[in-house]
């Protein structure tokens, strides 16, 4: 089985319908309070990654990856339902959409996120991806809970004009226009989703508005990171994570499309 390991955890691509059902159940717990498993039509087109506790097998994290050939194909992504991404149609290089990223409630071990980024890095490198993108979600739909976080995004992390998504969703919070306050950086980072914080440390950027997604009970921003713009020290660290050795001592490299292969 192809897998990466770190500390008490292992990450692997799903192998069968049972694995996918476990991931959908965790998504339902994380996004909907466990009311029902979370699944949609995009699941069939994606590769799915799960992170488990090695000893117990408990699922602690999952996400999915959708390869996109180039900007001309970005209209088929999940994110394109909510954002006008015509600005990216001219992007010539391969892309990868990261979606439905979630942690089991109460799990805060940083090794989980590090391991997840190791898998993502391996996939990015194997497929020659130049832009990683997706929707970064804040829990709930009340923007007032995140004013400092949004003010920090406005001040420091808005997308370059040539890549900036335009409004498409019917309900949005235009924080770049409405928030003129100086952010409290400590409060902002405390309220920032872990995945979004990771994107930003890699030089990531966000849309100038947040989508109010009542179905998922989230606020989310389009997020992108250009691989070439990641600081060299961060690239080195990520590639070290991507080359973790499992117990058999063999280095594993995961690539999109490997689901089900041993």
Residue 41: exposure state from Cβ atoms within 10 A (0-12, 13-18, ≥19): exposed
Whole-model pTM: value is 0.91
Closest by CA position to 28, among listed 19, 36, 17, 20: 36
Per-residue pLDDT at 220: 98
**pLDDT tens per residue, range 199-213:** 999 999 999 999 999
Q: Which ranges of the chain have pLDDT less than 70?
A: 1-2, 245-262
The reported pLDDT for the residue numbered 190 is 94
Q: Could you give the count of Cα atoms lying within 13 Å of 20 in the half-sphere of its Cβ?
A: 15
Res 257: pLDDT = 42
Residue 116 and residue 260: Cα distance in Å, rounded?
19
Alpha-carbon gap, residue 175 to 129, rounded angstroms: 30
List, for residues 45-76, the tens digit of each pLDDT value.
999 999 999 999 999 999 999 999 999 999 99
Q: How far is CA 132 from CA 46, 66, 175, 226, in A?
A: 14, 10, 23, 7
Going from N- to C-terminal start, the domains of the chain cover 65-242
What's the pLDDT at 1?
44
50, 112 in Cβ contact below 8 A? no
């Amino acid at each position: 089985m192809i897998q990466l390991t770190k500390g008490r955890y292992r990450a692997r691509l799903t192998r069968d319908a049972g694995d996918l059902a476990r991931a959908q159940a965790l998504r339902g717990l994380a996004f909907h309070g466990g009311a029902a498993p979370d699944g949609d039509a995009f699941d069939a087109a994606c590769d799915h990654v799960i992170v488990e506790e090695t000893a117990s097998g408990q699922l602690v994290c999952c996400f999915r990856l959708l390869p996109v050939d180039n900007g001309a194909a970005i209209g088929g992504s999940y994110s394109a339902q909510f954002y006008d991404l015509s600005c990216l149609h001219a992007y010539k290089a391969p892309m990868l959409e990261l979606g439905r990223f979630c942690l089991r409630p109460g799990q805060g071990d940083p090794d989980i996120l590090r391991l997840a980024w190791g898998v993502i890095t391996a996939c990015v490198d194997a497929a020659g991806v130049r832009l990683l993108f997706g929707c970064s979600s804040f829990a709930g739909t009340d923007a007032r809970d995140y004013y400092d976080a949004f003010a920090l995004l406005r001040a420091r992390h808005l997308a370059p004009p040539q890549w900036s998504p335009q409004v498409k969703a019917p309900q949005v919070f235009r924080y770049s226009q409405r928030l003129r306050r100086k952010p409290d950086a400590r409060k902002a980072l405390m309220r920032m989703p872990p995945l979004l914080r990771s994107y930003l440390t890699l030089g990531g950027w966000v849309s100038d508005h947040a989508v109010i997604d009542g179905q998922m009970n989230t606020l989310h921003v389009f997020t992108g990171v250009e691989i070439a713009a990641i600081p060299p020290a961060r690239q080195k660290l990520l590639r070290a994570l991507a080359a973790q050795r499992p117990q058999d001592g063999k280095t594993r490299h995961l690539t999109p499309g490997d689901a089900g292969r041993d």
